[in-house]
A and B are shown apart, each in its own frame.
Chain A
């Protein structure tokens, strides 16, 4: 199918983009940084077409639904969301080097999806036949993507903060292309300010859907509980800014832990624990 080939092309573009950002980080050549962003945007455009085609192909097969119904589709949509959020931040703030810490997440997702996951379009089981599926998945994954960007920025923050402490800032090297810690801290906060309301919306649409399908908006199923754990961690992050002793490195660590919990909520729960979201497994 055409959409499958386009997804492969997308993976290659994300790979080239990641490479370009790595070279940019090492060599500080502005042209290469620009190339990294252009490649990411091109891959994003191709993937958008691929997602649209896959959506259409499902209707041609008579089992029409948004391409967000199984593990393959979700990981591909996750990659798309990460590049979207990164693209917006890149366009707005122009700190190209962030790409070296965010694009690998998108590349990882695409590679896993394309190489290891079954990509057949399958019909929806009765529990998934609902418009809530689309709203729920879109809000969750855009939120997750914002957390991925925040995590990448937090890793940069910790590296930069370490070098600033040692005082080898003037020495230049790779770290001189990093934005100052103040900017990284701010970007981290901004990304989570986008991700947190989206996660909240994702949990609420999930609860509304569960209430519609099963008659309970909350049943402490492992997936629900983990989404709430992620929510607690980022709620703590948002309050850390106003709390003495929690600013800076600790906040960056909270953001990284938050993303680790997000990934566990997304994958760990399906692959390691059992529960209502079992259809998300392989």
Chain B
């Protein structure tokens, strides 16, 4: 087949299996991946949207059109990953059969082509009287048991080490595909979600990433949630959290599940039941609080924003029912709140105390706001759990393991072959290695020296 008459499919194969494509795809992937580390992904902070000229601006629309706000799932990025996979597969289809043949059916005779391609070779002059058995015994002693072939009145002896190491690079390539498959399985058959459970409450469903409620298939109760702190250097607790801990009980149709009653869940120690895993991911307080703003009474829930009569809005940061541990000399309920003015100016933070109206008045005057008085409230801690099922994760780990082993073998365990050809009183030794040539040369030199010592003199009668 001449190049002009190559079939189209051949040319396509040639392109997809080319290393130039590999280089192009890898460099392109490296370059475009930067975009998503500079432009925020997913939920966009309003300040960012404003900084690029607002949602009506050209930049926002262009970025949106190009999928820059979710670029790792954009068609062109996924397309590059698909191209990488096709490239890997095409390379494997093109090269594996040849490598497989080298690994499984080695050339046991030394051809002149092989001799030319050898990493190193030497010629020894030996007495013509040396026979097959003596040569084989000598080679076995220094290099391992050889395959012996007689061809054209010449003796060919062949030894090799680790022919399977040739396949390692294909193991690495397969591992990339395996990891992709694991990720796809996880995406199709798995889910990720979140559930917040106030202390003492029971839930039987969670919210997935699309905001939909999904049943767990069992019930989950939060018995307790606690935060513990490290000791401060001078004694007493510091501000540095040591442990976030939920005590959970799982039930099925109201019956407690053995091994899952009062089970402990902390960060880095997830809890798995029926393929669903729970991770300690956040916490907070939930409840209702009463404020008076000017003359209006207002009920504010712990984590929501409440609108004030003048158009501004307020947000509760934290509230306590007894302020004395934090403000010595004071007592009663206290709340720290953020107020966002109606004219979208900067937010202000203020402290409101139930028992000290004078202080609230002063704060109001200082910030030119209506007087805000915290009346008190009820609060319970809640635990926030990441809920996750990923049946593909094991495929990803198997792929990862294969990649590590494959890289190690491909880089550090060379396939070494040594041929010995004896005829007309000459022994040609030729060796080939895929890696670590210096060490291999030393091995070959040692073999040469030892063969010289045992074979170069005539056999004594």
A242 to B267, CA, bound (A): 46
Write the A19-63 contact mask toward B (1 if CB under 8 angstroms, else 0).
Answer: 000000000000000000000000000000000000000000011
A51 CB, nearest partner CB in chain B, Å: 23
Across the interface, B37 reaches (CB within 8 A) one of A62, A226, A236, namely A226
A132 to B267, CA, bound (A): 13
B184 CB, nearest partner CB in chain A, Å: 13
In the assembled complex, B105 has its CB within 8 A of some CB on chain A: no
Of residues 179 through 221 on chain A, the ones whose CB sits less than 8 Å from some CB of chain B are 193-194, 196-197, 200-201, 204, 207-208, 211-218, 220
Contact present for B36 and A217 (CB under 8 Å): no
* Nearest opposing residue in chain A for B238, CB measure: A123
Contact present for A197 and B37 (CB under 8 Å): no
Contact present for B29 and A126 (CB under 8 Å): no
Q: Which bucket holds chain B's interface residue count?
A: 35 or more
Across the interface, A125 reaches (CB within 8 A) one of B23, B26, B240, B266, namely B240
Contact present for A235 and B26 (CB under 8 Å): yes
A83 CB, nearest partner CB in chain B, Å: 22
Contact present for A214 and B30 (CB under 8 Å): no
- Secondary structure class of chain A's binding surface, majority of residues: helix
In the assembled complex, A127 has its CB within 8 A of some CB on chain B: yes
A193 to B434, CA, bound (A): 14
Contacts of A212 in B (CB 8 A): 268, 270
Write the B26-57 contact mask toward A (1 if CB under 8 angstroms, else 0).
Answer: 11011001101110010000000000000000
Contact present for A232 and B29 (CB under 8 Å): yes
In the assembled complex, A240 has its CB within 8 A of some CB on chain B: yes
Interface-facing stretch out of B3-11, B343-351, B403-411, B451-459 = B403-411
A126 to B230, CA, bound (A): 11
Known A-B contacts A127-B267, A215-B279, A242-B19; the reply to A273 vs B38 at CB < 8 A is: yes
In the assembled complex, B396 has its CB within 8 A of some CB on chain A: yes
* Nearest opposing residue in chain B for A62, CB measure: B231
Contact present for A126 and B26 (CB under 8 Å): no
Across the interface, A229 reaches (CB within 8 A) one of B33, B241, B387, B400, namely B33
A25 to B27, CA, bound (A): 35
Contacts of A158 in B (CB 8 A): none
In the assembled complex, A122 has its CB within 8 A of some CB on chain B: yes
Contact present for B277 and A215 (CB under 8 Å): yes
Contact present for B38 and A123 (CB under 8 Å): no
In the assembled complex, A16 has its CB within 8 A of some CB on chain B: no
In the assembled complex, B145 has its CB within 8 A of some CB on chain A: no
Of residues 96 through 130 on chain A, the ones whose CB sits less than 8 Å from some CB of chain B are 122-123, 125-127, 129-130
In the assembled complex, A243 has its CB within 8 A of some CB on chain B: yes
Contact present for A197 and B22 (CB under 8 Å): no
Across the interface, B279 reaches (CB within 8 A) one of A196, A213, A226, namely A213
Contact present for A204 and B267 (CB under 8 Å): no
A123 to B192, CA, bound (A): 31
Known A-B contacts A63-B230, A125-B240, A228-B33; the reply to A243 vs B19 at CB < 8 A is: yes
Of residues 46 through 91 on chain B, the ones whose CB sits less than 8 Å from some CB of chain A are 72
Contacts of B29 in A (CB 8 A): 232
In the assembled complex, A239 has its CB within 8 A of some CB on chain B: yes
Contacts of B30 in A (CB 8 A): 229, 232-233, 236, 261
* Nearest opposing residue in chain A for B29, CB measure: A232
In the assembled complex, B321 has its CB within 8 A of some CB on chain A: no
Q: Which residues of B line the A interface, CB within 8 A?
A: 19-20, 22-23, 26-27, 29-30, 33-34, 36-38, 41, 72, 183, 192, 230-231, 240-244, 266-268, 270, 277, 279-281, 386-388, 390, 393, 396-397, 400, 403-404, 407-408, 411-412
The 7 closest A-B pairs by CB, nearest first: A215-B388, A232-B30, A126-B267, A236-B26, A222-B37, A197-B407, A243-B19
- 18 of the cross-chain contacts (CB-CB < 8 Å) are A123-B230, A197-B407, A197-B408, A204-B400, A207-B396, A214-B281, A216-B388, A217-B393, A218-B183, A220-B36, A226-B37, A228-B33, A229-B33, A232-B33, A236-B27, A239-B19, A243-B23, A273-B37
Known A127-B268, A273-B38; further 13 A-B contacts with Cβ < 8 A: A129-B267, A197-B404, A208-B397, A208-B400, A214-B279, A215-B281, A215-B390, A216-B388, A217-B393, A225-B33, A229-B33, A261-B30, A273-B37
